[in-house]
Structure 1
Amino acid sequence: MTGQPAPRFAVSIGVWAVALSVYVLAVFHRSSLAVAGLAASERFDISASQLATFTMLQLLVYALMQMPVGLLVDRFGPRTVLLTGLAMMTAAQTLFALADSYALALLARVVVGAGDAMVFICVLRVVSSWFPVRRIPVFTQLTGTVGQLGALAAAAPMTWALGAVGWTRAYLVAAALGLLIGVAVLLVVRDSPEERHVRGPSTSPRALVGGLVEAWRLPGTRLGFWVHFCTPFSANLLTMLWGYPFFVKGEGRTPGEAGLLLSLMVLTFIVAGPVIGWYIGNNPWHRSTIVLSVVAAMVLTWAVVLAWPGSAPMWLLVVLVVVVAIGGPASVIGFDIGRTSNPVERLASATGIINQAGFYATLLLVILVGVVLDWRTPGGGTDYPPEAFTWAMSVQFPFWALGLLQTWRYRRRARSALGGVATQVPATF
């Protein structure tokens, strides 16, 4: 915004809220398979590895599209890309509701991932355009936090819907929500207070690649990447696919208790997000310290749960989901680091680079957990013994080790490059 009066705060809130509703729906679509995993195994007669392929392909498409989507947002503006993503998710969930074969269901999840990939970067761009600098960290965290209401709706309510109305009707209702939200986006969302559509300059493919390279060269972008790599994958692993089977088969909990634990995870995310956003807005020099502390807590808690003789007590599982859930809002710190490390014309591109990290980690872990479960389950099938989950969930630890090492490494590099390019607030880490 140059030389224009700041938009009224209420108007900014309205535009953000409608854009945010698309992200809430995207998180719901992304997470809706978590409580339907066992039902999907029966519906399509598939193994654990084949079940993991649903989420694997969805995450792979999501991660691979992050940099292209960032370039699209910089070129065509967030409103256009947001509507495109919403249309793709609506069509994909309709196909998933009606699919009667494993191949069609896989195709549907691929398209869900492609549409989902277009949403979060758009909403963050709306935040940076509609709010003053001092409010951006808080609303960035609120975006990630409120978006988790979609995961909350995909926990207990989706469990109920699958049992009460069946697979097809439950997913058709979910798809229909996209039509209603699409109308609201068309009527309310603008790319900036001055213009409904903001278009970036048309550039050559070589120039686009050059912009991505320049963004990646900055230590702050790499620090944001590794922050996002090591913080969200454990929560994603549980909420997107393996949490419900882990609590029911691995820890001997009832379906109702498993649903409550997953719901508590989302509620914790919602409470922790604004607190972290407020804190880093006032203390940006502690951002990477918060990340390192949160990851250390996740490592310790998972180690205790997996080493516990027999099933872990309910209080310990509550501690686990609370600690793991905090990794979600901690991952958003990576975007704030990227924002303060890049010029505004590369903001969406840098965000795309950072946003892919946690999803690549989640993708690999979803695959590995499925493979290990099949390996440690006698005779195959979905009757996983608790010992199989102990082995499977342990594959997270090497990922944390790599993420912690790289976060520490690039924190030092970013701090030594404080005199480089920064925007909006001092580039402190």
Structure 2
Amino acid sequence: MSATDTGRHPLRLPGDPPGGPRAGVVWGIGVLVYFIAVVHRSSLGVAGIDAADRFHIGASALSSFSILQVLVYAGMQIPVGLLVDRFGTKRVLSVGVVLLTAGQLGFALCHSYGLALAARAVLGCGDAMTFISVLRLGSRWFPARRGPLIAQGAALFGMAGNLVSTLLLARLLHSAGWARTFTGTALGGALVLVLILLFMKDAPEGHRAPPAQPMAPAAVRRQLAAAWREPGTRLGMWVHFTTQFSGMVFLLLWGMPFLVESEGLSRADAGTLLTVVVASNMVLGMVFGQVISRHHGARTPLTLGVIGATAAVWAVVLPWPGHAPMWLLVVLCVVLGACGPASMIGFDFARPANPPERLGTVSGIVNMGGFTASMVTLLAIGVLLDATGDDYRLSFCTVFVVQLLGLAQILRLRGKAARRERETITVSRVETVHTVEAGAA
């Protein structure tokens, strides 16, 4: 049993942020930035077929858009974590919004494949700066016990960005055209930049942020090594790796082509099913957040349950003779909706094992997991589609290979992480009691 299988939580530490309405406003601005980032990120998921026509490319080249974007995102996670720990949320988010807007605007206006790839790379760089910053912002404005709800809440609003893409952008592409649709989404970045500059603050008054971490190479190596030594950090990364990618790949690029070209659905019906993924994600995100906030011991069962359910539903859909029935595709989409909330559990494994001054770095390591898995799967599916003459069923078997790798690492690390978390929580409680006693004296 882990340290938190009893459902109890560490005592609230002295100086813990109080939360409150102001915290909600500041954190809400950060979440709005993440919402815009997800709109930009997922816009290609509903425009994949249009992009193939616009740039005259095949499946492998089409997958390169998402692969490059995810490659940049994953590669930026640790540097961004270090930057957030060093410079704070406001500065990093401001730069991220500028890059997001520039990348989306460039993608809207260019006509060549090479320039479009460059635009998605810039967008991926800006996108990489958002979620870690929002997690850090939540940890500075809300009590630690609210961590799981804050993380799941941020993910929920991010999925609302996916909802905008699946419901709105798909229609705008056919009514307003490529350039106007993507330019319109880019303008959202300018609005949130103004809000950041005017109203965002890294921490509430009277609650100092952790000391800025030095960026000298030796200090960075020590920061990374200390974070990586914690089994909870590594477990969190592999949980994120194993749970997130299946739903991400489906929404980011290959869901629409799979449903239309392999399952014979209309684009309207396929768009509706993508909306089911998003809606399931949003509902289950709040359920998972509430459950984990009350019972941290539910983390491992939820993680393994989602991995098992995802593998099981793909194992039924892919070999189905002919087109899978609509009810089965709905079940697939509901289960894929659980992938995002399950991936957030990775942060809940990593957070208790590390001090506040390493939170950005640790979040970067964890967040890198799922996007690395997504990048590998996006590439593998694209290559296999070209090699097999668009055999989606065989190509999507890549999911099982990636899941098996991640599951093996989770099972290997969970015991070490549980023992280390017990030690950390015991030390925190002793220090809290000593602090309270000293204050009373």
What's the TM-score, normalizing by structure 2?
Answer: 0.91
Deviations 1:111-136, CA, capped at 9 Å, x for gaps: 01000000000000011011112222
The equivalent position to 1:294 in structure 2, one of 270, 287, 306, is 306
- Tell me if the contact between 2:16 and 2:143 (Cα under 8 Å) persists in the aligned partners: no
- Tell me if the contact between 2:19 and 2:143 (Cα under 8 Å) persists in the aligned partners: no
Report the counterpart of residue 23 of structure 1 in structure 2: 34
- Tell me if the contact between 1:77 and 1:197 (Cα under 8 Å) persists in the aligned partners: no
Report the counterpart of residue 326 of structure 2 in structure 1: 314
Deviations 1:294-318, CA, capped at 9 Å, x for gaps: 1000000000001111110000000
The equivalent position to 1:400 in structure 2, one of 396, 400, 403, is 403
The equivalent position to 1:51 in structure 2, one of 42, 58, 62, is 62
Deviations 1:259-305, CA, capped at 9 Å, x for gaps: 00001110111100111011111111221221011100000000000
- Tell me if the contact between 1:23 and 1:119 (Cα under 8 Å) persists in the aligned partners: yes
| Separation in 2, partners of 1:97, 1:48 | 21
Structure 2 residue runs without a partner (length 5+)? 1-11, 430-441
| Separation in 1, partners of 2:127, 2:379 | 20
Report the counterpart of residue 169 of structure 1 in structure 2: 180
Q: Secondary structure at the match of 1:252?
A: coil
The equivalent position to 1:338 in structure 2, one of 340, 344, 350, is 350
Q: Secondary structure at the match of 2:265?
A: coil
| Separation in 2, partners of 1:287, 1:3 | 26
Kindly provide the amino acid, as one letter, of the partner of residue 412 in structure 1.
Answer: G
Report the counterpart of residue 142 of structure 1 in structure 2: 153
2:103 is aligned with 1:92:
yes
Kindly provide the amino acid, as one letter, of the partner of residue 205 in structure 1.
Answer: P
The equivalent position to 1:178 in structure 2, one of 178, 181, 189, is 189
Deviates more, 1:267-276 or 1:410-419: 410-419
Report the counterpart of residue 438 of structure 2 in structure 1: none
Following superposition, the deviation at residue 5 of structure 1 comes to 8.9
| Separation in 2, partners of 1:69, 1:14 | 24
Following superposition, the deviation at residue 7 of structure 1 comes to 5.0
Report the counterpart of residue 412 of structure 1 in structure 2: 415
Give matches, 1:19-418, under 5 Å: 19-194=30-205, 200-377=212-389, 384=390, 388-418=391-421
Structure 1 residue runs without a partner (length 5+)? 378-383
| Separation in 2, partners of 1:266, 1:423 | 39
Cα 1:319/1:419, change in 2 over 3 Å? closer
Report the counterpart of residue 380 of structure 1 in structure 2: none
Cα 1:69/1:340, change in 2 over 3 Å? same
Kindly provide the amino acid, as one letter, of the partner of residue 265 in structure 2.
Answer: R
Kindly provide the amino acid, as one letter, of the partner of residue 252 in structure 1.
Answer: G
Cα 1:405/1:8, change in 2 over 3 Å? closer
| Separation in 1, partners of 2:240, 2:132 | 14
| Separation in 2, partners of 1:10, 1:368 | 46
Following superposition, the deviation at residue 425 of structure 1 comes to 7.9
| Separation in 2, partners of 1:70, 1:6 | 21
| Separation in 2, partners of 1:339, 1:361 | 21
Report the counterpart of residue 381 of structure 1 in structure 2: none
| Separation in 1, partners of 2:107, 2:90 | 26
Following superposition, the deviation at residue 405 of structure 1 comes to 1.1
Following superposition, the deviation at residue 14 of structure 1 comes to 0.7
Report the counterpart of residue 10 of structure 1 in structure 2: 21
| Separation in 1, partners of 2:258, 2:427 | 43
Following superposition, the deviation at residue 6 of structure 1 comes to 4.9
Deviations 1:187-227, CA, capped at 9 Å, x for gaps: 22110002899571434211111111111111111110110
Following superposition, the deviation at residue 413 of structure 1 comes to 1.6
Cα 1:418/1:335, change in 2 over 3 Å? closer
| Separation in 1, partners of 2:173, 2:101 | 18
Kindly provide the amino acid, as one letter, of the partner of residue 220 in structure 1.
Answer: G
| Separation in 2, partners of 1:217, 1:169 | 48
Following superposition, the deviation at residue 182 of structure 1 comes to 1.0
Alpha-carbon RMSD across the aligned residues, in angstroms, is 1.9
Cα 1:201/1:359, change in 2 over 3 Å? closer
Cα 1:260/1:155, change in 2 over 3 Å? same
Q: Secondary structure at the match of 1:33?
A: helix
- Tell me if the contact between 1:230 and 1:399 (Cα under 8 Å) persists in the aligned partners: yes
Cα 1:392/1:163, change in 2 over 3 Å? same
Kindly provide the amino acid, as one letter, of the partner of residue 238 in structure 1.
Answer: F
Q: Secondary structure at the match of 2:135?
A: helix
| Separation in 2, partners of 1:6, 1:96 | 41
- Tell me if the contact between 1:35 and 1:159 (Cα under 8 Å) persists in the aligned partners: yes
Kindly provide the amino acid, as one letter, of the partner of residue 119 in structure 1.
Answer: T
Percent identity of equivalent pairs: 44
- Tell me if the contact between 1:343 and 1:421 (Cα under 8 Å) persists in the aligned partners: no
Cα 1:369/1:257, change in 2 over 3 Å? same
Deviations 1:76-121, CA, capped at 9 Å, x for gaps: 0011101100010001111111101001000000001000000000
| Separation in 1, partners of 2:94, 2:197 | 8
| Separation in 2, partners of 1:38, 1:243 | 11
Following superposition, the deviation at residue 376 of structure 1 comes to 1.5
Cα 1:128/1:307, change in 2 over 3 Å? same
| Separation in 2, partners of 1:8, 1:221 | 26
| Separation in 2, partners of 1:156, 1:419 | 45
Report the counterpart of residue 437 of structure 2 in structure 1: none
Q: How many residues align?
A: 417
Following superposition, the deviation at residue 424 of structure 1 comes to 10
Kindly provide the amino acid, as one letter, of the partner of residue 142 in structure 1.
Answer: G
Following superposition, the deviation at residue 353 of structure 1 comes to 0.5
Q: Secondary structure at the match of 1:310?
A: coil
| Separation in 1, partners of 2:88, 2:254 | 36
